[in-house]
Amino acid sequence: MFASVGSVLKLHTWSDNQLEQIATFNPKKSHGPDPKIISVSWCHDNSYIALLPEDSQPQIVSSKDKRNINLVHTINALKDVTAVTFKNHTKRNIALANKLGEIVIYDTKNRNINSKIACLPGFIKFLEYNYRDEQLAILGENVLSIFVEHEGMNGFIKEFQSETSTIIKYHPSIPNLIAVGSENGCVTLWDTDKEEKLSSYQKHSSSVTGIGFSRSQKMMVTTGMDNKICVLDNSSSDCLFKMSIHQAVTSVDISPDDFYIAAGLEDGCICIYDIRDPLKYLICAQVHNSSVNKISFEKGPVIVESLHDGHSLTTINGSDFCDNRKAEITNPEGKNNNNFEDNLKKELFKMVKTQMNYLETQLAEHCTKFQSFINKEFDSIHNAMGRWDVFNVGDTNEIVQAIDTTDVKSTKSVSTRKSTSY
């Protein structure tokens, strides 16, 4: 399931190459015509979504019932908000930024500002947490700032010049890897820990509008106003596949299972492609009456990685637990310490909790689909029976006689066909 936003929020799912729209939410208007929604963010268990209509206040909607989206709260604690994002491991804290460069953390439970991070010069375009929630990337008018928030270290420690940047995206399983797209079509990968540029791609001829990473670390998808979708190899910098379509591509995201990408277009269409079979076309449907500003898949289960520098990961999956083998984990320096063990325990608890919430959501979704299927089947039977006059006006004897007559005719017909064949 994924969300798309234009002037309204819509939730979608698909099966058998059919895109199904399951819910629509029209944001509360402050004044004037319908504003376009410029930001959408799922909370960690997909039960709430934060929306930001342009020139309006952020709104939090409940998505517990995916077919009945409703407004929970409008955030009025900060004026002129321009960017909003949930933290990845909670639904309580949301980062907000505004036109004056103020960045704050909002507490959704107490409905007030929990802390003020800083006030940077100029307009804030985007906010993006890395998957550990230890780094908050803040894209301003001419600089990308990284705010680090974890034990023993709070503050801005890194800045990258980005005068023409249009979008930023952290990798979903590498905490120190971020991609920055620019107006000239270039995408740059940065290592935020080492403060160094890893690579740069010039695959678009105009503004980069969307960036998506596969969780497996192998691929990155970029889109642009030049009507292009590019699939890139992170390690080799090769362009694996590139295609042009009929409209400017305004947004993109990759499903948590790394199977599909959803691309939003300027004319309101959404296209679904299978990323495993070089962008195999699956669906393209007119969904919005205006440009699709953002597309965002539900969040999937958390990937837990060994806590060390660099990009290599140790993924903990079901087979690791089924083998009943005791893994010995040490920190990068080979030293066991309480902080490392505590951090690992926290990561494991977060993973288990998030996976349980994810499975609960998926189960509820499948149960809803199954109930809908059963209702349709009963409706079909009821309608078919209604077309038989004997069920409407006949008594029990007439119904039995009609069934017996039908059986006799069917038997004679079969016998006739057999004798004819001989």
- The pLDDT assigned to 326 comes to 35
Q: What is the strand order of the sheet 177-182 is part of?
A: 165-170, 177-182, 186-191, 196-202
pLDDT averaged per 10 residues, the chain (length 422): 94 84 85 80 94 93 92 95 94 94 94 91 92 92 83 66 85 92 92 88 93 88 95 80 91 93 95 86 91 93 47 36 34 49 67 67 70 77 66 60 56 47 44
pLDDT tens digits, one per residue of 231-262: 988 777 688 888 999 899 999 999 998 999 99
Give the C-alpha separation, 82 to 80, whole Å. Answer: 6
- The pLDDT assigned to 201 comes to 87
pLDDT tens digits, one per residue of 37-54: 999 999 999 999 999 999
What are the beta bridge partners of residue 150?
153
- The pLDDT assigned to 340 comes to 58
Angle, CA of 67, 69 and 73, to the nearest 5°: 165
- The pLDDT assigned to 389 comes to 57
Give the C-alpha separation, 307 to 193, whole Å. Answer: 13
Give the C-alpha separation, 166 to 126, whole Å. Answer: 9
Is residue 106 within 8 A of residue 113, CB to CB? The reply is yes
What are the beta bridge partners of residue 253?
262
Give the C-alpha separation, 164 to 184, whole Å. Answer: 8
Give the C-alpha separation, 325 to 357, whole Å. Answer: 27
The sign of the dihedral angle between the CA atoms of 301, 307, 311, 313 is negative
Phi, psi dihedrals of residue 132, rounded to the nearest 5°: -85, -10
pLDDT tens digits, one per residue of 271-304: 999 988 877 888 999 999 999 999 999 988 755 4
Is residue 173 within 8 A of residue 305, CB to CB? The reply is yes
How many C-beta neighbours within 10 Å does residue 110 have? 9
Is residue 123 within 8 A of residue 101, CB to CB? The reply is yes
- What are the tokens at 389? 């006059």
Is residue 230 within 8 A of residue 222, CB to CB? The reply is yes
- The pLDDT assigned to 138 comes to 94
Is residue 108 within 8 A of residue 114, CB to CB? The reply is no
Query: Considering only CA atoms, which of 274, 270, 268, 267 is closest in space to residue 296?
Result: 270
- The pLDDT assigned to 391 comes to 54
Residues 6+ apart with CB under 8 A from 348: 304, 316
- What are the tokens at 295? 């597309």
Per-domain residue ranges of the chain: 2-297, 389-421
Classify each residue of 316-342 as buried b or exposed e, where b means 16 or more C-beta atoms within 10 Å of its C-beta. Answer: beeeeeeeeeeeeeebeeeeeeeebee
Give the C-alpha separation, 210 to 225, whole Å. Answer: 10
- What are the tokens at 332? 């990068």
Give the C-alpha separation, 138 to 120, whole Å. Answer: 9
Q: Given this structure, which CATH class describes domain 2-297?
A: mainly beta
